[in-house]
Amino acid sequence: MNIRLPAPLRPTVGGATTVPVEARTLADLGAQIVARYPELAARVLHDGAFGPFVTVFVDGEDARFIAPDADISAAKTIEILPAMSGGATTAEPSQRPGPLGGSTLLDQVAKEIHGSFIDETIGIVARAHPDTVSFAVGSPAPEVLRMARAEELAADVLAHDGLAPLGYGITEGDGELREIVAANARARGLRASADDVSITVGAIQAIDITSRLFVRPGDLVVVESPGFANVLSGLRNHGARLLEVPVDERGIDVDEAARLLRKRGERPRMFFIVPNFQNPSGATLSIERREQLVALAHSYGAVIIEDDPYRELRFRGEHLPAIASLTDDGVVSIGTFSKTFLPGVRIGWAISDPATVRRMASAKQTMDSCTSMLNQRIVVAFHRRGGVDEHLARLRALYAEKQARARAALARDFAGTGVRWTDPDGGFYLWVTLPHGMSSRRLLDVALEERVAFVPGDAFGVERDLSNAFRFSYSSPTPDRIDEGVTRLRRAFDRLA
């Protein structure tokens, strides 16, 4: 049999795509990998078994549903994939009767779906010890949720609007909320009216709908690397091929994107960009690169999706112009209230021309008909109550303090270790890079034992090797818990080093 490996794991076996192995059972497979491919074993095995952040397929069947002592000696292909990939990649038609194989009809006819490795990590953390300090979740702090006084807002909506918010609404969204979003966009330099706004269930739905509109199977989409894991998986589910372009302290390297496109001789369909305090690196796209990006996309006739959930969380420096404000055409601007208000209400938006908004409504009608009217009206009540600017100022001060505490703790506990981290001017995240050869997945296994968690770098790429880095989110823990979490992280690091 052969083991088939994705690009990030190939360096562990000399760059090979497949390597031979003979094994009778899954336990024997692990032992053979340890004996023949020790570098691969260090990346995918934990205490002799496959770790929680890889998924193994035996001729297309998920190994989690294969008995440990079952005979696999007749198998032809073993695939070892990051857990975020969601399923086996490709296989010979003779290997399995349907897209995924398996023993049931549902298995046989189901198509491959790529999931969220971030959410899988969060699930693992949720099952960990309750005292675990989590740097894994990019969520507003609990004290921020209390600031919103949601119970008062819900009561206000029902008193003000009666029963109407408990029914259906129009697909494009509540008119008053659309005008609030449009007014905020105009303040950022966009020419937007309520007719240019589509209200969605969070930013993720807005991104998914725009992908449905603009991406056809086989299309090339330019993405940041590291990039937002949920979107990378979503684009792949729509059949996109991804061109990963490195991110540095000034955001996506637009010159490198142009060079790679020339080298491939292909026209991209779309660019997906998080311009401010990017998830996961925290980088902000410079004004020069924003202008370059618009020119590059126009030269190919490609759409830019500008996902900007963290813009209002800048606590140093000056705001940069939105990409959508630099051009009259070709940009869909996406945002959300999840990072600045309440993530549980799941209210996001997309801003484009009215024709695109109508097409988005047609796509949304096949998904959920409309976004919750009650949740939309809660957001309206939040703005109607007043004090939004003061609320945002408190958030900026809170996250500035937390980021400063995180950076100070890392500087204190990791001095002289070769560990490096970014210095964003806002947002939720630091991107931490480990010394060469150290795996963040292996570190996470040990860190969970020390009761601290983060999201490994492999979650944020597809082909590029990001295995020696991880995302560190300082948004949710208190400053004291940040200190304690970094101390635990250093203990884990010392155990692995």
Chain-centroid distance of CA 209 in Å reads 16
CATH 1.25.40.850 given to domain 151-385: no
| pLDDT by 10-residue block (mean), the chain, 497 residues | 84 86 92 89 82 80 83 91 50 40 70 73 74 93 90 95 96 98 96 97 97 95 96 93 97 98 96 98 98 98 98 97 96 97 96 96 95 97 95 97 98 98 98 95 94 94 93 97 98 95
- State residue 116's pLDDT score: 73
Q: Tokens 């009650």 belong to which residue?
A: 374
One-letter amino acid for residue 107 of the chain: D
Q: Tokens 């990039």 belong to which residue?
A: 227
Helices in 301-439 by DSSP H: which ranges?
354-365, 373-385, 388-413
CATH topology for the 119-138+390-496 domain: Aspartate Aminotransferase, domain 1 (3.90.1150)
**Range(s) of the chain covered by CATH 3.90.1150.10:** 119-138+390-496
Per-position DSSP letters for 149-194, written without gaps between them: -HHHHHHHHHHHHTTGGGS---TT--HHHHHHHHHHHHHTT----G
Task: Identify the three-state secondary structure at position 353.
Answer: coil
The CB density around residue 316, as the number of other CB atoms within 10 Å, is: 11
- State residue 210's pLDDT score: 97
The CB density around residue 243, as the number of other CB atoms within 10 Å, is: 18
**Range(s) of the chain covered by CATH 3.40.640.10:** 151-385
Its pTM stands at 0.81
- State residue 99's pLDDT score: 52
259's CB contacts (< 8 A; 6+ apart) are: none
Residues 147, 57: Cα–Cα separation, whole Å: 46
CATH topology for the 2-104 domain: Ubiquitin-like (UB roll) (3.10.20)
| SS (HEC) of 385-417 | HCCHHHHHHHHHHHHHHHHHHHHHHHHHHCCCC
- State residue 115's pLDDT score: 76
